[in-house]
Amino acid sequence: MDAPLRLGIAGLGTVGSALINLLQNKSETLAERCGRAITVTAVSARNRSRDRGCDFSSAKWFDDPVEMAASEDIDVFVELIGGTEGPALDSVKKALEAGKHVVTANKAMLAYHGIELAEVAENSGVLLNYEAAVAGGIPIVKTMRESLTGNDVTRVYGILNGTCNYILTRMEDEGISFEDCLADAQRLGYAEADPAFDIEGNDTAHKLAILASLAFGTKLAPDEIYIEGITSITTADIEAAKSLGYRIKLLGVALKTDSGIEQRVHPTMVPLNAPIAQIAGVTNAVGIDADIVGELLMSGPGAGGDATASAVAGDIADIAKSRPGHQHGPAFGAPVAKLAPYKRARMRSHEGGYFIRLSVNDRAGAFGAIATRMGESKISLESIVQKEADASSANGTDDTAKTVILITHSTTESAIREALENIRNDGHLAADPQMIRIEK
């Protein structure tokens, strides 16, 4: 057997502790599968004395992860600190420059600095592995980076945030409030340190940027993503969606169009019988449409200590099995110099169906005026439903208002925005309209 692979783990939160337990409990199996032992020789965290439910007493302690990153005691730097910049970025850069392989779960850092880091890794001849950064335990990065090399991908999409999917599922199944669901997700260790990243769609966007780069061979473009979170979704939307044969999911979608790449994150109506509509709770799913293989959908746990540690351990095992000169490929599938510049498709040209929920003042001519405005913008309606029960009290609006749900045939974002603006200006609405895109 070769010499043990020596790890330095920075960050001992939920994932770091789960990883240490996994490496200890499975040390023999891992050694057999990798042809060498994997040992934790160094650790770094903010607080040395906190009880974490794992034993790292034989590892050398570093107060400073940047110092650990360049230490002679380690071969691999495992970054589980989090954050786009700061100690996470400083230490990862330092490790790569010092010729250490890096394993990270840090999607925000990769979305913004992945290309720069991949370049340093290439120059140093080391691996930058980040399976845990996207969709937790689902091995989607390896699938895209390695198994789909012979394909051209046209669309990648998914439920990429366990916290949001958990909240939407419980709101639908149990009628529990948004706030209570979020508190449970935090208690269970699914949510980000700042849960606004989850519910406002940024966490999904970071993961989508990585998937889009892998899918289309382009540079990362996290600032070119259209983002809407789930904070405006009410139980009224969820119920209306269901009655019309849809379920609401927070999706990240990256699509190749004639005018460029569309990257968007927003609550999305998916048909109730679609496979992705069955993905419940903290589970994530990633779908890929590609020219040779066709359509793929992978699902699994997207957050939580063990699921994330599983992906980190897989990345570590890859490094343990690699040999100089026979390492796995570049971080984003192609060398940085070969990645194409990103060209953005404008959101206003997005095409698809729309769900619109309007709270309409109950006056003669109001419905006719709405239908006219839709027609003027060349929007064809698939269905119009006036809810029998007056939902206005739930919306906090005028109690003479009636809820009207419109489903459109395929149209453009600019047409919908124009029609809604005109309807609003006509003065028929008692509250801001709700608009949710439909993904087939």
At 92, list the tokens. 């990862």
Q: Catalytic one among 100, 207, 249, 402?
A: 207
At 108, list the tokens. 């925000």
| Given 161, 310, 403, 412, the residue binding ligand HSE (CB under 6 A) | 161
Is 94 assigned a catalytic role? no
At 246, list the tokens. 């849809």
At 230, list the tokens. 């789930």
Pick 307 or 415: Cβ nearer ligand HSE: 307
162 binding ligand HSE? (CB under 6 A): yes
68 binding ligand HSE? (CB under 6 A): no
| Given 157, 190, 246, 332, the residue binding ligand HSE (CB under 6 A) | 190
Query: Which amino acid does the sequence have at 396?
Result: G
| Given 75, 79, 131, 198, the residue binding ligand HSE (CB under 6 A) | 198
* Closest CB 327 distance from ligand HSE, rounded Å: 26
| Given 44, 91, 163, 169, the residue binding ligand HSE (CB under 6 A) | 163
| Given 191, 211, 233, 265, the residue binding ligand HSE (CB under 6 A) | 191
Number of residues that bind ligand HSE (CB under 6 A): 11
* Closest CB 428 distance from ligand HSE, rounded Å: 39
Largest CA distance in the chain: 83
| Count of beta carbons in the 10 Å neighbourhood of residue 25 | 10
200 binding ligand HSE? (CB under 6 A): no
Part in contact with ligand HSE (CB under 6 A); list of ranges 18-26, 64-72, 184-192, 315-323: 184-192
* Cβ-Cβ contacts under 8 Å for 124 (sequence gap 6 or more): 96, 97, 98, 99
303 binding ligand HSE? (CB under 6 A): yes
Q: Which of residues 96-155 bind ligand HSE (CB under 6 A)?
A: 136
For residues 273 and 271, what is the distance between their CA atoms, to the nearest angstrom?
A: 5
At 206, list the tokens. 């970071």
Part in contact with ligand HSE (CB under 6 A); list of ranges 13-21, 39-47, 143-151, 159-167: 159-167
Part in contact with ligand HSE (CB under 6 A); list of ranges 46-54, 110-118, 158-166, 176-184: 158-166
Backbone angles phi, psi at 204, to 5 degrees: -60, -40
Backbone angles phi, psi at 414, to 5 degrees: -70, -35
302 binding ligand HSE? (CB under 6 A): yes
β pairing state of 38-44 and 60-62: parallel
Pick 121 or 133: Cβ nearer ligand HSE: 133
Task: Please give the C-alpha separations between residue 235 and each of 227, 267, 386, in angstroms, as whole numbers.
Answer: 21, 13, 17
Task: Please give the C-alpha separations between residue 408 and each of 165, 193, 341, 354, 359, in angstroms, as whole numbers.
Answer: 25, 38, 35, 5, 17
Catalytic residue ranges: 207
Binding site for ligand HSE (CB under 6 A): 136, 161-163, 190-192, 198, 203, 302-303
